[in-house]
Structure 1
Amino acid sequence: MPVPTASAPAARTARAAITIVVLAALLSLQPVTTDVYLPALPALTQALGSTVAAGQLTLSALLLAFGCSQLVWGPLSDRFGRRPILLCGIVLYALASVGSVAAASMDWLILWRTVQGAAMGAVVMCARAIVRDLYDPVAGARAMSKALTGLGVVACLCAPVGGLLAQMLGWRAPLAAVTVYALACLLLVWRYLPETLARPNPRALQPGTLVRTWSLVLRHPTFWSYSLLTTASYGGLFTYLATSSFIFIGVLGLSRTHYGWVLFTSGLAYFLGTFLCRALMARWGLQRTVAIGGLLSITGGTLLAGAAFLGWHHPLALLCPFYIFALGHGIHQPCGQTGCVAPFPQAAGVASAFNGFMMMLLAFAIGLWLGQQSNNTIWPLVYGVWGCSIALAIVAWWPVQKFAPSS
């Protein structure tokens, strides 16, 4: 019996909704990897007889591998398609997750987390490239915002779940939960995500083609404008993630459970920022939305610094300004991640890879700096977020306004 034509739009809508859900799950692998184990970070550092700097290296090394690996995964996905690279990355990620759970020393944990970061690069890079495969720039920003709303939900749950697991079952339990999440992502991709790259480039891996593609991407002002936006925004978030467990638990005296709720509320602010992004884009367009995000970022960073300079070293005095910064982060990431790949429909994998590499390179540099600044005070957090908020405002108000695609 023929299917009524009226069902075709409904079927397309359902497929689009499923795609957004799968993309949200894939993009959420990053906060799952970083946030779930944060409440257990002080405990695992102590249990493995290591230092705070080494404990932070389990995060910064993961993120450096995450960024560098995308430079490999990007051209591979342009050559062979998104789906095979995704599946390969998730399988490798799950195996590295098992290794992390079984690690008997900090050195082994750092090694397995590095492999995990490299595999995560394939997953997140492909998810960003898929958005460019399926949408034009402005529609892509809206779709990415929806996917990152899902990421916000997952991010809100990560720390409370991680804190509860660590408190009940020990520090290895959050790492085991990450493995379960990876397997769930594998099933989603296998079942619901077909290939999205219409015409893979058979010459994408040839040296001459790679050099021309890299040159095309790296010479484009739109790429740099949006990549600097996402990089500065992620730098502020990474500073918060890398320092918050030691500051809120070790310096300000919160329990691991309470710290989990600290990260929950921070994720909630980011979650609300993604909704704000879509509302602002509908009314003001892309450029003004980014400008408003820049205002939120610098306001949050400056209020955080002001509270610290006034001696208000209390959890709420730090959290309330950071919530404002997180709202801006919810605007900058969907706009920036889609904007940086918008000019490159045939090289979205490479553009996404370079964007991810820039974010993670800054995160690794910040991680090294934080390791040297660990002094049982709130100042590394304050200076890191404030500095990134200033950079964000400059980028949002100048190059993005000049080079943004028309909205």
Structure 2
Amino acid sequence: MPASPPASPLVAAASRPAVSPAVVALALALLLGLQPVTTDLYLPALPRLTRDFGATLAQSQLTMSALILAFGIGQLFWGPVADRFGRRPVLLLSLALYTAASVASALAPAIGWLVLWRTLQGAALAAAVVCARAMVRDFYEPTEGAHVMSKGMSGLGLIAIASPVLGGTLAATLGWRAPLGAVAAIGAVALAFVALRLPESLAPRNRQALRLGPLAGAVREVLGHRTFRAWSALVACTYGGLFAILALSSFVYIEVLGLAPGQFGIALASASVAYLLGTFQCRRWLLRHGLDGAVRRGAAFSLAGGLSMAALALAGVQEVWAVLLPQWLYAFGHGIHQPCGQAGAVGPFPRNAGVAAALNGFMLAATAFLVGLWVGQAMDGSTRPMGLVVGVFGIATATVGWTLVQRHGVPARVRTA
């Protein structure tokens, strides 16, 4: 029996519950905010737990890189599942798993167990993020979706500001397990919000999403689309540099530059303020210049941040300001590229938004995982490894933003200056 034709956009929109943009933005902030909560909140505790477990730097980096690998692979699974069964049931299940894995992480008796529970945490986190990105496409067209996404990213920015400060305070006063316990509590809050406030956004469900033939066809369609490839390349490049900062910053600031965990938390939070300002600027540039115009301007900040951090590190300037100021520039650019890139990547695929969000997220996570493997071996007691990696990704982000995104990111009829 042939499959029934997909519902028209008007029918699909009519069957969705009315949800205010404020609720959607808050949901995005909570769901996407779990990513910086999972990474940033425990970073001030990373050197201490490394010493307590008697682990090497490479072993402690596995608590980050294994999480990111599971996060990337998990999206390939959860994306089609969310297209088939809807966003809400997938979110409820994954957030329950995330909270449980977070509790287990806080109680881990050895570094190996911590890596295991962080891996499961990353797999559950994947569903929250992929459903959040797909939900934007369920409700909005790409440009409007980028605007709402930037509001959600502003909320994410506030969470990212608070996470390292809270993590540093907890680590300094209660030990390294306390930040991981706080992650579990935040996961429980996100689960409660979804259960009580967030309705299903997908209408209708794609009954073909998990069948091998249609799924393979959807993957080919997404990967073959030049717009998807352009935006995914941008997101992967900008996050590659950010992940290098996340993976190495605690050791650079605490072990190399001599900051206390609480001071490091403030330094990392200040970079999140720059990211938050970038999301605000993103909304202004979106209204004036569109998706491609916003990215064209944001790329200059990515390039300036990356090149300045690399140049100062190569010159041997081992000072806090020589890392922090370039980090602010790079984070500001990241606040522009992330909402544009995530909305742009799923924009062409209203019927397969979950698959598109999953593939986009996998590319991002695969890039971060490779960076994590490298930085775990590269730390040499200086700022050079972090500076060089951020410099490379600053150049790559600007190159993609000024070429591929300008050529393929937005249909010609809606391009703006």
Q: What's the TM-score once normalised by structure 1's chain length?
A: 0.96
What's the CA shift string for 1:279-326, capped at 9, x where partnerless? 111112221111111111101111112222333210111111111111
After TM superposition, what 4+ stretches of structure 1 lie above 6 angstroms from structure 2?
A: none
Looking at structure 2, the residues matched to 62 and 403 of structure 1 have their Cα atoms a distance apart, in angstroms, of 32
Deviation of 1:14 (Å) = 7.6
Looking at structure 2, the residues matched to 218 and 404 of structure 1 have their Cα atoms a distance apart, in angstroms, of 14
User: Given the alignment, which residue of 388, 392, 400 partners 2:405?
Assistant: 400
1:389 aligns with 2:370: no
What's the CA shift string for 1:86-140, capped at 9, x where partnerless? 1111000011011101100000000000000000000011000000000100000
> Which stretch shows the higher mean deviation, 167-176 or 284-293?
284-293
Amino acid at match of 1:224: R
1:71 aligns with 2:76: yes
Amino acid at match of 2:109: A
- In structure 2, the CA distance between the partners of 1:302 and 1:53, relative to structure 1 (3 Å rule), is same
1:45 aligns with 2:53: no
Q: Which residue of 2 aligns with 1:130?
A: 135
User: Given the alignment, which residue of 328, 339, 342 partners 1:337?
Assistant: 342
Q: Which residue of 1 aligns with 2:268?
A: 263
CA contact 1:90–1:120 (8 Å) conserved in 2: yes
Q: Which residue of 1 aligns with 2:5?
A: none
Deviation of 1:234 (Å) = 0.4
Looking at structure 2, the residues matched to 13 and 168 of structure 1 have their Cα atoms a distance apart, in angstroms, of 45
Looking at structure 2, the residues matched to 66 and 147 of structure 1 have their Cα atoms a distance apart, in angstroms, of 20
**DSSP-derived class of the 1:28 partner:** helix
Q: Which residue of 1 aligns with 2:154?
A: 149
What's the CA shift string for 1:216-240, capped at 9, x where partnerless? 0010000000000000000010000
1:196 aligns with 2:185: no
1:223 aligns with 2:228: yes
CA contact 2:44–2:167 (8 Å) conserved in 1: yes
Q: Which residue of 1 aligns with 2:331?
A: 326
Residue correspondence of structure 1 range 3-42 to structure 2 within 5 A: 15-42=20-47
**DSSP-derived class of the 2:204 partner:** coil
What's the CA shift string for 1:191-235, capped at 9, x where partnerless? 111000011111110010111000000100000000000000000
CA contact 1:19–1:192 (8 Å) conserved in 2: no
| RMSD (CA atoms) | 1.1
Looking at structure 2, the residues matched to 279 and 76 of structure 1 have their Cα atoms a distance apart, in angstroms, of 35
1:88 aligns with 2:83: no
Deviation of 1:16 (Å) = 2.2
Deviation of 1:15 (Å) = 2.5
What's the CA shift string for 1:118-176, capped at 9, x where partnerless? 00000011000000000100000100000000000000000010000011111000000
Unaligned runs of 5+ in 2: 1-16
Deviation of 1:13 (Å) = 9.5
1:55 aligns with 2:63: no
Amino acid at match of 1:25: L
Looking at structure 2, the residues matched to 293 and 269 of structure 1 have their Cα atoms a distance apart, in angstroms, of 13
User: Given the alignment, which residue of 313, 322, 330 partners 1:308?
Assistant: 313
Unaligned runs of 5+ in 1: 1-11
Looking at structure 2, the residues matched to 339 and 112 of structure 1 have their Cα atoms a distance apart, in angstroms, of 33
Identity of aligned residues (%): 49
Residue correspondence of structure 1 range 232-311 to structure 2 within 5 A: 232-311=237-316
Looking at structure 2, the residues matched to 314 and 342 of structure 1 have their Cα atoms a distance apart, in angstroms, of 43
Q: Which residue of 2 aligns with 1:121?
A: 126
1:106 aligns with 2:104: no
Q: Which residue of 1 aligns with 2:177?
A: 172
CA contact 2:318–2:382 (8 Å) conserved in 1: no
Looking at structure 2, the residues matched to 152 and 184 of structure 1 have their Cα atoms a distance apart, in angstroms, of 18
